[in-house]
Structure formats: structure tokens, C-alpha cells
């Protein structure tokens, strides 16, 4: 276990008057395709949600919209009380771990993490925090290696360590279990579990509901552009 003091403290507002995530009648058209059709959802701070749905159902698109990377065609949304249109405030409170990791390929592992900390105006011993995060995911030996030379599983571990290090109030993760061995999948569960234990809200898009359930027990399913409660559903 890493000394928690090596990780920047999560910056969660103490008393929330509003849900961590909220969407109201959100529609999204991309090109000719309507991907989201009147999505409504409320997630309280500290919720853990598994987002299910077939290939192409719109899970990645919904995560991008929540991270203010896409604007709703119609409808409204809020992240930690901030309107989705206020991208700057939303991005201060949310971290999206995309399916490919979203790393800078020409930066080394430690540079990728240090840069992420700088972007979030981290104060404190960044070198120590970065070293602790790399150790936490077993990448200390690759600290100086460029991200482009990592294996797919190592990239996933690096992206995971970044999400854990940043510990935003809301963390969105897209297929975190893909490309990982058994130990890697257990590590994903552990680190995402720690984010939630620290009060963070978690949304996990996954095709492995049995793995995601451990850290994100509330299941929602995207189908036909709508988001439905899938509490009883076990298939991705």
C-alpha cells in the first residue's frame, strides 16, 4: 500500500447541495446519427455507476459529453453543480480516462503524470506524488520510458495511476479492464475502490459487469439512445 500522504488530497466539497452528475432530457446528434435520445440521470456524490450497453450504444459518447468534450444538441447537464457549458469549471472537477488511456505518447511515464498534476495546479511535492503513483501500479521501472513504447496493459496502468493521482470529485473510466491481466484487473478494482472510498463519484463503462460491480454497484444501461436502470441485468 502506498502512503496516502504521497497522493494529493481529493478536493471534494464538504457539503453538497446538488447531485455530482445530472442530465435532463439530453439529446445528442453526431453527423446524421442521433446517439442520445432524452437521457435523464442523477448521481449523488460518492455514487459508483457501471455503464453497460452493446458496442456502439453510446457509452463513450456519453462519457465525453459528461466531461464537457461534446455539447448536447438539446437538454441540460451539470457536473458538481456546474453547467456542462461551463467547460472550464466542469474540467476542474472531472477526469475522464479514455479507452486508449489518453496519454501523451512522447512524454515519459513520469512526465505524463507530472504534466497532469501541473494542469490541475497541484501544490506540494509533485516528484514524490508521481513516484508514489507509478509504484502503486508497478511501473516504477518504466518511469523514464515514453508512453508510446509501453505495452497496451502498461498504458492502461499508467492512465489508471493518473486518474488515481488526480482524484477528481468525479472520475469517468472507459473500459478500464481491457488489455489487463488478472493482477491488472484486480489493481483497477483496488484503485477505483480507493477513489470511491475517498468520496469520489465513479462512472465505469465496461463490458465486464461482474468486475465493475465491485466498485460501481449501480448499473445503468444505454440502449436505443436511452439510459435505463439495469440493476437486475448481468450481461454487458
Ligand X SMILES: Nc1ncnc2c1ncn2[C@@H]1O[C@H](COP(=O)(O)OP(=O)(O)OP(=O)(O)O)[C@@H](O)[C@H]1O
The footprint of ligand X (CB under 6 A) covers 30-31, 33, 35, 53, 55-61
Pick the closer one to ligand X by CB: 10 or 70. Answer: 70
Least Cβ distance, residue 184 to ligand X (angstroms): 19
Least Cβ distance, residue 216 to ligand X (angstroms): 16
Least Cβ distance, residue 99 to ligand X (angstroms): 7
Pick the closer one to ligand X by CB: 53 or 176. Answer: 53
Pick the closer one to ligand X by CB: 62 or 167. Answer: 62
What is the Cα–Cα distance from 187 to 181, expressed in whole angstroms? 10
Measured CA to CA in angstroms, residue 146 lies from 26, 46, 103, 107, 151 at distances of: 39, 34, 10, 5, 11
Least Cβ distance, residue 19 to ligand X (angstroms): 23
Amino acid at each position: 500500500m502506498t502512503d496516502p500522504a504521497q497522493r494529493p488530497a481529493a478536493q471534494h466539497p464538504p457539503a453538497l447541495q446538488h447531485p455530482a452528475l445530472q442530465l435532463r432530457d439530453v439529446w445528442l446528434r453526431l453527423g446524421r446519427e442521433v446517439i442520445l435520445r432524452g437521457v435523464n440521470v442523477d448521481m449523488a456524490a460518492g455514487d459508483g455507476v457501471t455503464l453497460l450497453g452493446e458496442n456502439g450504444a453510446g457509452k463513450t459518447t456519453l462519457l465525453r459529453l459528461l466531461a464537457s468534450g461534446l455539447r448536447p444538441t438539446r437538454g441540460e447537464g451539470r457536473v458538481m453543480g456546474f453547467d456542462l457549458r461551463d467547460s472550464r469549471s466542469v474540467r476542474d472537477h472531472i477526469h475522464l480516462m479514455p479507452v486508449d488511456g489518453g496519454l501523451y505518447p512522447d512524454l515519459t511515464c513520469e512526465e505524463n503524470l507530472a504534466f497532469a498534476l501541473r494542469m490541475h495546479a497541484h501544490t506540494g511535492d509533485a516528484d514524490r506524488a508521481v513516484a508514489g503513483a507509478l509504484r502503486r501500479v508497478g511501473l516504477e521501472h518504466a518511469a523514464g520510458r515514453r508512453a508510446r513504447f509501453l505495452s497496451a496493459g502498461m498504458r492502461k496502468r499508467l492512465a489508471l495511476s493518473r486518474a488515481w493521482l488526480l482524484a477528481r470529485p468525479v472520475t469517468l473510466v472507459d473500459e478500464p479492464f481491457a488489455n489487463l491481466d488478472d493482477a491488472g484487473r484486480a489493481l483497477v478494482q483496488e484503485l477505483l475502490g480507493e477513489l470511491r472510498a475517498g468520496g469520489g463519484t465513479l462512472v465505469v463503462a465496461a463490458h465486464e459487469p461482474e468486475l465493475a460491480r465491485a466498485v460501481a454497484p449501480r448499473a445503468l444501461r444505454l440502449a436505443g439512445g436511452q439510459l435505463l436502470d439495469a440493476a437486475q441485468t448481468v450481461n454487458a
